[in-house]
Structure formats: structure tokens, C-alpha cells
Amino acid sequence: MSEDGEQRNDIPEREGVSTGRRALMLGAVGASAIVSIRPALASTAVSIVHCQIPVPDAARASGWIAADGSVVPSGTAGAFAPPRQPLKGEAVKQALAGGQLPGVEYERSQAYMKYVRNLHSGTSGFTCFASLQMPRG
């Protein structure tokens, strides 16, 4: 232990807290102390070109969209036929902000939006979706 430290040990305990030793909180179990930076590429790149989200993606082309957003065989009861055109990025952005997709009824809009929210990286439309929900700047 350094000379400095020994001196400090001579100071009465109560005052020692206030004279130099820094206080440190370990934090709550559920809290988080690390943010790992992810590429913002998607957000800015897609704000530059207008993007669209095919529903469903080409790999599952022409499946239907169930109320929970999953892709199910066409004709499944209670599921919705996919939109004829890919969803426009701007329309999805408004729906994400609490609105509804234009030109479709409420339940259908909800199902499509659940599909969009479930998109994973590597699925077509994901880059577009990622860009819409990430605040920038």
C-alpha cells in the first residue's frame, strides 16, 4: 500500500469516505452498463434510397400472413392474403408510429405490421425495417 494510502488510514473512518476514495455502485441486477455499438449503416443508407418491404419475402413467396404475423400456407382460415405490392417504407414508418397501413382494414394492417416487426436480419425487407425504427442523429 502506498504512503498516501497509509496516511489516509490514519484518518477516522467517517471522514475517510469523504476525502479521496471514490464511491462505486455495482448497480442493480437487471440494469445494463454496456452498450455495444452496432452498424448504423442500415438506418442512414436506407434513408437515402426509398425502401420497401415485401410481405412475405421471396423465399416464402405467396404464403399468407396470420394474425400473429407468421407466414402460413395460403388459404389458412383467419389469415390474410399478402399485399400485391411490397409495403412502402414511408407507410410502414407511419404505422410504426401508431398509425395504420393505408388502404387496408385494421386487422389486416395489424397482421402485416406484426410480420414486419418479426423480420430478422438476412430476410429481405429487414434492412428497410431496421432503418425505419432507428432514430438517427
Partner 1 sequence: MNVGANGWLLARILRSPADAAALDAAGWTALIAIARAEQMIGTLAWRLHGTAMPPAVARILADARALAEHGRTLALWEAEAARRVLAPLGVPVVLLKGTAFVAAGLMAGQGRSIGDLDILVPRGSLHVVERALLANGWEWVKPDAYDDAYYRRWMHELPPLIHRDRDRMIDVHHTILPLTARITPDAEGLLADAVPLRAEEKGALAMLSRTDVIVHAAAHLFADGDLAGGMRNLWDVHCLIEEFGVEGLVERAEHHGLGDAVGRALRLAAALYGDGATLSPGDRACLRRVTARDGWGRATHPWTRLAFYVRSHWLRMPPAMLARHLWTKWRKQAAA
Partner 2 sequence: MRHVFSVRIGPVGFRVGSDWRGPIRQLAALYAGYPQPEDGVPDFTVRLFAQRPWRRVIRPAVMIGGDFMIPDAAPLPLAQGLLAAEMAMNLQMALGQRRYLLLHASAVERDGRVLLMTGESGSGKSTLAALLSQRGWRLMGDEFALIDPVTGLAHAFPRLVSLKNAAIAVAEAAMPQARFGPLLEGTPKGAIRHLVPDAAAVAAMDTPGKPALLLFPRFGFAPDIREVAPGEVFMRLTQASTNYVAMGERGFDALTRLVLGIPAQAIDYPDTDHALAQVEALWDAL
Partner 3 sequence: MAAVYRAAQAEALRIVPLDTFTAIYHRASGITHLVGPPVPEILAALGPDGLTLGALIARLGETYDLLDADEAALGARLDELVGAGLVRTA
Q: What are the residues binding partner 2 (CB under 8 A)?
A: 35, 37-41, 43-53, 86, 88-90, 124-125, 127-128, 134-137
- Which 35-74 positions form the footprint of partner 1 (CB under 8 A)? 36, 38-39, 59-63, 70-71, 73-74
137 touches partner 1 by CB under 8 A: no
> In this complex, which beta carbon is closest to partner 1, that of residue 56 or of residue 89?
56
CB 46 within 8 A of CB 127: yes
Interface positions with partner 3 (CB under 8 A): 17, 21-37
> How many angstroms separate the Cα of 64 from the Cα of each of 12, 114, 118, 121?
74, 13, 15, 21
- Within 8 A by CB and 6+ apart from 129, the residues are 53, 92, 116, 117, 119
> In this complex, which beta carbon is closest to partner 1, that of residue 49 or of residue 81?
81
Q: Which among 57, 54, 126 is positioned nearest to 86, based on CA atoms?
A: 54
User: Where on the chain is the footprint of partner 1 (CB under 8 A)?
Assistant: 36, 38-39, 59-63, 70-71, 73-75, 81-82, 118, 120-123
